[in-house]
DNA sequence: GTCTATAGTAAGATAGAC
DNA sequence: GTCTATCTTACTATAGAC
């Protein structure tokens, strides 16, 4: 390659510093509230460098979403049991709002900002969030579907879909609670949420489980 | 009074037109995304009139939140059964994102924008949203608490609190789903959500209900 | 109370030296 | 690749005629 090694490393580390900076600001301020000047100063680089590494603000957020989603996938590839998934998602919600200890979780808090950012349908960052949201939903649905091998296919399919919808609503809802600063014990409610969903499973699978 | 009747009526109707305008814009664009020029043009009045009726953008949103909360209270004063509450809240979520058919519900969609608008702690509109959120939570908790007169006070208290937290997470979560444009049947999931919460009640009250 | 014109400012983005 | 200076636009808010 024509690029020298040291240069490329410097470039990559700057890029990462900028992504970390925009993550830390975006969690606090959302999309509109995060300014490029903020990002630059938080990253320690001048604003010119930000625009050298990223085309514009929109693309910067697109790459941030991709970056966070990669981190999430690596940490959550096999989701495990539904209870584990809820446990992780809901307690991470609380963490994400407070600090950057859980960067993967922070992604979802930023993402929700985009859910409400309906102004311009052609905002690429919003479109990317919605795409990842869909992909994640499919992923979770498939995993859940495989958890009920002993029931008829159509029943398992519908059950997995319902659980995925309910689980997503619950995790999103607790992320809202975290953002609003509600004074609740997220760990405890993660368990209660799992209890509630499991009882839905039990009710619906009566007659199939041991058939 | 020194104000002539016709003048006051005109003033009130203009004020209301502006509130309707900001509501319609805010549901689509959030706080930062709604500009005073947008509001003015949607209301049919020039921007100068908007500033004549409202001190500034922040106060405009404060009054919008108050206005919507009043509408909500009038429509929901006795919440009825938990199932009814969820039914209303969750199916209204879908409506709120699509149109202004349900202005009271729209309030909550705007509100969620403020939950994530953490940038300035001294944003009065955000503070008002959080205050109303708390008030609503207390209100719902009290109503739920009264639904279980046959169980020990501390058990009923904790149950009501847990149900209120879970119910709020579910309704917020479905509002997110509506904002994200998820293709789901909100009416159906309102029932499922109620089923799930009712099973929590059943489990916990075993031994008390008919004691 | 309504409306126009405009002041003031903040933010996204670029040019060009180094 | 880094950094500064600056252009441009868009938005909040006000002044002042009517």
For chain B, give the mean pLDDT: 88
What confidence tens digit (pLDDT) does each residue in A89-98 have?
998 888 776 6
Which has the closest alpha carbon to A96: A177, A27, A30? A27
* Mean local confidence (pLDDT), A187-200: 97
pLDDT at residue A99, as a whole number: 62
Q: Which residues of A touch B28 (CB under 8 A)?
A: 118-119
The nucleotide whose C1' lies nearest the CA of B7 is: C1
* Mean local confidence (pLDDT), B155-163: 97
> Residue B189 and residue A165: Cβ atoms within 8 Å?
yes
* Mean local confidence (pLDDT), B44-67: 96
Confidence of residue A1 (pLDDT cuts 50, 70, 90): very low
Mutate to test the interface with B, among A30, A112, A115, A194 (most CBs of B within 10 A): A115
Least confident of A143-147, B56-60, B166-170: A143-147
What confidence tens digit (pLDDT) does each residue in B104-140 have?
677 788 888 888 876 667 799 999 999 999 999 999 9
- A193 → chain B, closest CA residue: B166
Confidence of residue A2 (pLDDT cuts 50, 70, 90): very low
pLDDT at residue A44, as a whole number: 97
pLDDT at residue A164, as a whole number: 98
Between B93 and A199, residue with greater pLDDT: A199
Spatial separation of the C-alpha atoms in residues B47 and B45, rounded to whole Å: 7
Could you give the angle at the alpha carbon of B77 between the alpha carbons of B72 and B81, nearest 5°?
110
Mutate to test the interface with A, among B115, B170, B205 (most CBs of A within 10 A): B115
The nucleotide whose C1' lies nearest the CA of A53 is: D1
* Mean local confidence (pLDDT), B37-48: 97
Q: Which residues of A touch B29 (CB under 8 A)?
A: 117-119
Task: State which nucleotides on strand D lie below 7 Å from a protein beta carbon.
Answer: 1-5, 10-16
Would an 8 Å CB–CB cutoff place A198 in contact with chain B?
Answer: no
Confidence of residue A100 (pLDDT cuts 50, 70, 90): low
The nucleotide whose C1' lies nearest the CA of B33 is: D11
C-alpha A167: how far from chain center: 14
> Residue A32 and residue B33: Cβ atoms within 8 Å?
yes
* Mean local confidence (pLDDT), A60-73: 90
Return the exposure string of A175-189: e unless at least 16 CB atoms fall within 10 Å of the residue's CB, then b.
bbbbbbebebebeeb
pLDDT at residue B1, as a whole number: 44
* Mean local confidence (pLDDT), B25-51: 94
Rounded to the nearest angstrom, the minimum Cα separation between A196 and chain B is 5
* Mean local confidence (pLDDT), B177-189: 95
Q: Which domains does chain A have, with CATH numbers?
A: 1-54 (1.10.10.60), 57-204 (1.10.357)
For chain A, give the mean pLDDT: 88
Confidence of residue A76 (pLDDT cuts 50, 70, 90): confident
Between B48 and B6, residue with greater pLDDT: B48
């Amino acid at each position: 390659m024509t690029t020298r090694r040291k240069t490329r490393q410097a470039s990559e580390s700057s890029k990462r510093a900028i992504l970390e900076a925009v993550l830390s600001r975006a969690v606090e301020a959302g999309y509109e509230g995060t300014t490029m000047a903020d990002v630059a100063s938080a990253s320690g680089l001048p604003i010119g460098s930000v625009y050298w590494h990223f085309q514009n603000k929109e693309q910067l957020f697109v790459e941030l979403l991709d970056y966070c989603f990669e981190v999430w996938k690596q940490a959550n590839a096999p989701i495990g049991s539904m209870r584990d998934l809820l446990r992780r998602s809901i307690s991470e919600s609380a963490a994400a709002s407070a600090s950057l200890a859980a960067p993967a979780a922070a992604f979802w808090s930023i993402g929700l900002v985009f859910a409400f950012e309906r102004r311009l349908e052609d905002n690429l960052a919003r479109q990317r969030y919605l795409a990842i949201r869909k992909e994640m939903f499919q992923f979770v649905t498939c995993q859940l579907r495989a958890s009920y091998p002993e029931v008829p296919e159509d029943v398992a399919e519908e059950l997995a879909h319902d659980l995925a919808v309910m689980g997503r609503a619950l995790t999103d809802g607790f992320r809202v609670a975290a953002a609003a600063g509600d004074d609740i014990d997220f760990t405890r409610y993660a368990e209660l949420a799992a209890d509630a969903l499991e009882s839905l499973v039990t009710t619906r699978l009566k007659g199939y489980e041991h058939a």
